[in-house]
Homo-oligomer: A and B are copies of this chain.
Amino acid sequence: MGPGPVTADPRVLRAMSAHLVGQFDPWMTDTMTETMGLYRDVFRTANEQTFLVDGTSRAGIEAALVSLVEPGDRVLVPVFGRFGHLLTEIAARCGAEVHTIEVPWGEVFAPEAVEDAVRAVRPKAVAVVQGDTSTTMCQPLADLGEICRRHDALLYCDATASLGGNDFEMDAWGLDVATAGLQKCLGGPSGSAPISIGDRAVAVIDARKHVEAGIRSDDDEDLGARIASNYLDLAQVMDYWGPRRLNHHTEATTMLYGARECARLLVEEGLDAAVARHARHGRAMLEGVRGLGLGVFGDVTHKMHNVVAVEIPDGVDGDKARTALLEDFGIEIGTSFGPLHGRVWRIGTMGYNARKDAVLVTLAALEQVLRGYGVPVTAGGGVGAAREVYA
């Protein structure tokens, strides 16, 4: 019940024990193509270039940034938590001239603040996290695509922690590139990073295509500045997933099966229903911890549905309490980073864990652990408040 990775859906784990086939077996390439279509539904996009990067969610982030950004390009990162800092780090390693704006942890940006910064910096790309689990905040994105288009900037979004559990509209919001991971609301294990790339970004990336030594043909000409990574070179990865099927990495078959099943689960449920489920169980957990008498960190009107930051009561050693919850009740919750380390616990309700029984058991166990530390919790207050949400 932490901020992710969380318990995977048993259907996903079962899918991952299926037999392998060769990477160019027609069934394999059909499965790759099917998976592209499923993730178009998940990202709510018509982008042809929607596929998987073979690595954890940060491999997807780095693939996006290293393929979009050339050394010396300006990148603007609105930072509202630890994962905004990660975007600055990755962009800087790509050679970008990184500019940031910041709000205090627990807040999000108004669109006007982002536009002011875009106007001042004139970046090639804006890179923003949607849901930053370190603060639990969910940045509104609906206006940012239009802002970036107005100022001729590309908009990249890291939706790792939010996708599937919070509203996300790739095309309606005008996002150019978005990446995610399986280990949050998608109900799978980390190790595969779904990505979607719109036409404006595809043009930028393909303008730097260099087919690698060893497989290039005489027709392959070198374009623009070569992308600094081979593994995360999206120009080549698009040729591997596309009709040319140009050999690149060997697709991670078992992770593909897992990613496909994660998307199938969401598409079967319906994306709106999945978001509503996360909203419902997230609300129950929020009211539940409040019902125990605990404070909640941050501007909850902008809280992600799938995680809540709970203030650790005075006199409680946060890490010891987490250990007690794990050892005695088998339930894991998270700590946080930077300014919130030791100040909050992060409790998730996402993917397969966005379930009533998971919420109620967690609240019941947390009450017992807190009582053991002498915290004056309201007996039954957590489960009771959550039940009222469910009623």
Contact = CB atoms under 8 A, between A and B. Distances in A.
Contacts of A17: 13-14, 16-17
Contacts of A181: 250
A214 interface: yes
Interface stretch (A34-42, A199-207, A223-231): A223-231
A230 B90 contact: yes
A54 B55 contact: yes
A2 B25 CA distance: 11
Interface stretch (A143-151, A253-261, A374-382): A253-261
Contacts of A22: 2, 5-6, 332, 334
Contact of A250 (B4, B21, B54, B92): B4
A214 B254 contact: no
A5 B214 CA distance: 19
Interface in A48-74: 54-59, 62, 66
A25 B6 CA distance: 11
A232 interface: yes
A172 interface: no
B20 A7 contact: yes
Tell me the interface secondary structure of chain A in the complex. Answer: loop
A215 B334 CA distance: 15
A104 to B, nearest CB: 15
Top 10 A-B residue pairs of the complex, sorted by shortest distance between their CB atoms: A191-B252, A85-B214, A189-B254, A85-B213, A17-B17, A82-B214, A22-B332, A190-B250, A56-B249, A55-B55
A279 to B, nearest CB: 24
A320 interface: no
A58 B13 contact: no
Contact of A13 (B66, B84, B230, B254): B254
A191 B255 contact: yes
11 contacts: A5-B23, A5-B250, A5-B253, A55-B59, A55-B249, A56-B252, A62-B229, A89-B214, A90-B230, A95-B228, A255-B255
Question: Size class of A's contact patch?
Answer: 35 or more
A20 B8 contact: yes
B250 A258 contact: no
A334 B337 CA distance: 48
Given A13-B254, A59-B54, A213 B86 contact: yes
A214 B85 CA distance: 5
A55 B193 CA distance: 11
A16 B8 CA distance: 12
A101 interface: no
A185 to B, nearest CB: 14
Interface string A356-375: 00000000000000000000
A62 B54 CA distance: 14
A255 B231 CA distance: 18
A19 B7 contact: yes
A185 B268 CA distance: 38
